[in-house]
Amino acid sequence: MRILFVGDLVGRSGRTALLTRAAELKRRLALDALVVNAENAAGGYGVTPAILAELFAAGVDLVTTGNHVFDQKEIIGELEREPRLLRPLNMAPGTPGRGAAEVRTARGKRLLVLQVMGRLFMGLYDDPFRALEQELARHRLGGTVDAILVDVHAEATSEKMALAHFLDGRVSLVAGTHTHVPTADAQILPRGTAYVSDVGMTGDYDSVIGMDKEGSIRRWRSDLPSKRLEPASGEATLCAVFLETDEGTGLARRIAPVRLGGRLSQAWPEGCT
């Protein structure tokens, strides 16, 4: 399978970068599935039903979120209704929505997407290791599903790496999100699971993690309450990882960064036109 996972969309700039390129990406990379983290898509804070509709219309197959998932209150009902929208799996029992969903591709392949939230510096969430263990007990890579993608929305690289090694050989890809900075450690672990500590945001990098830099500087320099930060509005860099899996085992054959537009150095998988 060929899968593209796009990092955190930040504001209108990030949305535009994806929406204008989605069809081209699917064609040029011959994608089976396009998965996007959109937890900062609505002005930097959550995602709305209208934005979701835009993403799905553009060809996005599934949307993950994160700690801002409930910032837009109208999304709560959508989490119950829309099976293609995930919130972290390790939220408290009774939380609206789901943390796991299956995508059936045009070729009939089955992609399972899971999302968990880290706990270090993030909040009082349930154990992501246990949550993933329980969910994976119901699925077998290369058997009941053809590929498994895990979005680890977390601050600490140590926690992301530990989760990746814990899952090595049982999932296709463990991809970190949340820090909005792409890391250079994309690799395939010893038992065949692809890993990257952070995919990076899809947003304007002339900013402070996607937010207006002047407002961010003022906030850092004062202890007084300040108004909510606004997303930077310059041209975004689309940041993603491209995954190619073995058709038999579901393990990774290749992982490669994708960076298009904006300020960052550009990256594209070798051999893909």
Catalytic site residues? Answer: 68
**What φ, ψ does residue 114 adopt, rounded to 5°?**
-125, 145
Determine the Cα–Cα distance for residues 222 and 204; give it in Å rounded to an integer: 24
Q: Percentages helix, strand, coil for the chain, rounded to the nearest 5?
A: 20, 25, 50
- From residue 216, alpha-carbon distances to 73, 127, 211, 222 in Å are 25, 32, 7, 10
Determine the Cα–Cα distance for residues 80 and 219; give it in Å rounded to an integer: 36
H helices of the chain, where? 11-19, 22-28, 49-57, 75-81, 128-136, 157-167, 213-220
> What three-state secondary structure class fits 116?
strand
Give the chain's end-to-end CA distance (angstroms, integer).
Answer: 17
> What three-state secondary structure class fits 125?
coil
Cα R_g (the chain), whole angstroms: 17
